[in-house]
């Protein structure tokens, strides 16, 4: 158990809908990262927050947004969902020893 928690574990929704994925980092970690893992693209960095502020952006679609709250938990919002958004979404938090991943949320868009 990495100490990073993510909810929900699974999400099934229809095209055009909006969903919110939630992440709680390990105790004491200020950074939160979001990654997407799909069969054709592998693990891709989406966005990073550090202590409530956006620190870095990857190839995150404009339909996706994220935020980190004062208690350091983070949410990833995905809107106008398309079939191609079906993937595993991972959250990670880090300290000087490395980045630790949560169990992921499996999103299926039908």
Partner 1 sequence: QKEVEQDPGPLSVPEGAIVSLNCTYSNSAFQYFMWYRQYSRKGPELLMYTYSSGNKEDGRFTAQVDKSSKYISLFIRDSQPSDSATYLCAMIRTGTASKLTFGTGTRLQVTL
Judged by the rule CB under 8 A, the positions of this chain that interact with partner 1 are 2, 4, 31, 33, 35, 42-45, 48, 50, 55-56, 58, 88, 90, 92, 94, 97-104, 106
Residue 9's SS3 state is coil
* 31-to-57, 87, 104 alpha-carbon distances in Å: 13, 23, 17
Shortest spacing between CB 84 and partner 1, in angstroms: 19
Structure tokens at 95: 């300290």
In the complex with partner 1, the residue whose CB is nearer, 8 or 16, is: 8
In the complex with partner 1, the residue whose CB is nearer, 60 or 65, is: 60
In the complex with partner 1, the residue whose CB is nearer, 64 or 100, is: 100
Would you state the torsion angle of the CA atoms of residues 97, 77, 55, 103, taken in this order, to the nearest 10 degrees?
Answer: 10
Within a 10 A sphere around the Cβ of 25, how many other Cβ atoms? 27
Shortest spacing between CB 23 and partner 1, in angstroms: 11
């Amino acid at each position: 158990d990495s100490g990073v928690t993510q909810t929900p574990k699974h999400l099934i929704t229809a095209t055009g809908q909006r969903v919110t994925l939630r992440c709680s980092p390990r105790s004491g970690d200020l950074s939160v990262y979001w990654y997407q893992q799909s069969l054709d693209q592998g693990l891709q960095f989406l966005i990073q927050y550090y202590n409530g502020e956006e620190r870095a952006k990857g190839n995150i679609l404009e339909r996706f947004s994220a935020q980190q709250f004062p208690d350091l938990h983070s949410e990833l919002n995905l809107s106008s969902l398309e079939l191609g958004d079906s993937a595993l979404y991972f959250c990670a938090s880090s300290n000087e020893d490395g980045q630790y991943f949560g169990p992921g949320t499996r999103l299926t868009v039908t």
